[in-house]
Amino acid sequence: MPPTDKKYPWDKRVFIGEYGFRRYHRGTQKIAITADQQAEFTRTAAAAALSWGCPFALYWQIYDNESDEGGENPSGLALINRNQQKQPAYLVHKNFYRRANDFIDRCRSDFKRNPTQAEFREEALKWLQSE
């Protein structure tokens, strides 16, 4: 979107509506990437969005709703699979939100304010790169 003179709480006015990484080749149960690779790709995508200044990036999908009845032909995109098992990419998000909330709480306690976008981005990139 073009720059504007209106004040917004974020630098960019474009967000990523959905991102995710398929673990299985479509229509088969043949593995395309491992669960650990999916988590690494998730960290990389989140870091790229943060580095660019993207205010929101939404992961597709939390629960598996693409498998056939009985769990056949999974996509492996879900953070929580059909067996209710939390995948490593789920833990990337869980740990990120825990660290984010802790950081915001510390800023509010120590400085009586929310972190700036730049402060948050700097810390968030450290978290994603340290896992």
The residue extents of the domains of the chain are: 16-130
- pLDDT for the residue numbered 5: 72
Sign, CA torsion 101/43/127/52: negative
| Residue type present at position 62 | I
pLDDT(61) > 70: yes
Confirm if 80 and 67 have CB atoms less than 8 A apart: no
- Region of residue 107 (phi > 0: left; psi between -120 and 50: alpha; otherwise: beta): alpha
pLDDT digits (tens, 9 = 90+) for 72-107: 778 889 999 888 999 999 999 999 999 999 999 999
Average pLDDT over residues 36-62: 93
Average pLDDT over residues 36-61: 93
| Residue type present at position 40 | E
Q: What is the mean pLDDT of the chain?
A: 89
Residue with tokens 């968030």: 124
